[in-house]
Amino acid sequence: MSHTQTSWHRPLWFFGFLILLALLPLPFGSNRPWASDLFAVFSGLLLMAMLWDTRNAKPAAGFPPRKRIGLAILGFSIVIFWTFIQVASWPPESWHHPIWKEAQLLLGQLKGSISVDTGVFAESLLRLTGYGACFLLAFVGGRDSHNASRLILTIAGAGVAYAFYGLLAQSMGSDTILWYKKWAYQGFLTSTFVNKNTYAAYAGFGLICGLALLGERFKHITLTDPHLAKRSKMAALIDSLILKDYAALFSLLLILAALALTGSRAGIASSLIGVTGFFIAMLWHKRAHSPRWLWLSLSGLVLFLFFIVLGGESLLERLDQNKLGEDMGARLSAYQLEGQAISDNPWLGFGLGSFEPAFRLYRDSSLPIWFQHAHNDYLEMMMDLGIPVATILFLSLSILMSCCVSGLKKRKKDAHYSAIAVGASFLIITHAFLDFSLHIPAFAATYAALLGLGVAQSWSLHERHS
């Protein structure tokens, strides 16, 4: 879809999608069955509305990377198809997990399957297809530059709103999430999320989007005092700022402060890596030679370190060598058990969403705490889907990321959308090694939207993509 005015330039389904993205973090990151089911239903309805509204739309202008997008869609379709095979009873009995034979000895006739727990399949599939719907909604709607800008503004605005709530609750000494008493991570800033690590990573998305918006504002600022500019361009730039510019800066300060007060090592580190990836992408873009990006990144780093020193005692305590050793020891024990599970069933997997029941079969005294997730999304996907299908899923995502990287070189304008997707991918690739945020709907859906937008804006109207 071109950037010109069309009959669906301001479609209602896209505004509904923006509202959905903004509200997803509110009910504990939507990580409750009722919340994730509602997410899947609404994203599906919005997708159907989009398909109906665009049924007569002309093909996308320019030369989109159709082969890569087609390969990614094919890969995702294979993953979905395989998850149905895992819960079916008709595959060869030799494929069924041995636990079903033991259950048959105790309970009589039961239909076996590859999956160790078919009861978790429906909710897991709904979440996965919901993320796919978010990608498609952002991809189709985000091809229009006005809609693309609204999407980034929505995610940045949501990041500011949830940061403000978290800071307000923390400053009041509140030990609740909304009106519920916290049952985990007391004393840490988690906003409306239960897990501080997931909130920190989500705040990273808001930070990247906010920085992109701020950079676009700074790029179009006209220096009002040419005499001052001769002495100091930075002083002249500050002198030229208006109220909206200061409001944008203050919004970023709120997110930085909330991020520092989460006390999340993995979340803060991955957010910084994501921001670094965004700046690298913008600097690599052939039009991003302005030193303002360098000043912006250095200023953000200094401010973040200031918040760490001012109020991040919880993080500094968690960086203590003994605490790091204890946490890493538990994770390594879990990773070893997960590796054993994968090696026992490398081809077929244990079933989509079946990590927890499958891990019960391997957990022993070496692991003192309970792991509901693998704390490593790569290992969890390999346990759930098996190595071959998990690899297909990873490759499909990598192909889409490559479209965004290509967009940095091909686009003459609006390359910051692809840069945002690259930065968000840096964040998620890093965080997935140490946590399970991709299993939290608010986080995963937001990333799917950013990736869809990055791909949608990855080709120009006139230049051919490779």
pLDDT in tens, the chain (466 residues): 444 444 445 689 999 999 999 999 999 999 999 999 999 999 999 999 999 999 888 777 667 888 999 999 999 999 999 999 999 999 999 999 999 988 888 887 788 999 999 999 999 999 999 999 999 999 999 999 999 999 999 999 999 999 999 999 998 988 889 888 888 888 889 999 999 999 999 999 999 999 999 887 766 666 565 655 455 555 555 555 656 777 788 899 899 889 988 988 889 989 989 998 998 898 887 654 555 556 656 665 665 566 555 555 555 555 554 455 556 777 888 899 999 999 999 999 999 999 999 999 998 877 777 778 888 999 999 999 999 999 999 999 999 999 999 988 888 788 899 999 999 999 999 999 989 989 999 999 999 999 999 999 998 765 544 3
Q: What is the pLDDT of residue 321?
A: 46
Q: What is the pLDDT of residue 464?
A: 45
DSSP 3-state of 360: helix
HSE, CB side, 13 Å, CA atoms: give it for residue 411.
26
Provide CB contacts within 8 A for 464, sequence distance 6+: 63
Q: What is the pLDDT of residue 332?
A: 84
Angle (nearest 5°) at CA 404 between 402 and 409: 100
Q: What is the pLDDT of residue 308?
A: 57
Q: What is the pLDDT of residue 459?
A: 87
Copy the structure tokens of residue 403: 């479209």
DSSP 335-356: HHHHHHHHHHSTTT-S-TT-HH
Q: What is the pLDDT of residue 3?
A: 42
Residues 449 and 155: their CA atoms lie apart, in Å, by 10
Q: What is the pLDDT of residue 264?
A: 87
Q: What is the pLDDT of residue 216?
A: 79
Residues 208 and 214: their CA atoms lie apart, in Å, by 10
Closest CA to 156 of 223, 114, 216: 216
Please give the radius of gyration of the chain, using alpha carbons only, rounded to the nearest integer: 23
Closest CA to 143 of 74, 34, 54: 54
Copy the structure tokens of residue 451: 């990736």
Burial class (CB in 10 A: 0-12, 13-18, 19+), 146: middle
Helix H segments across 184-232? 196-219, 226-231
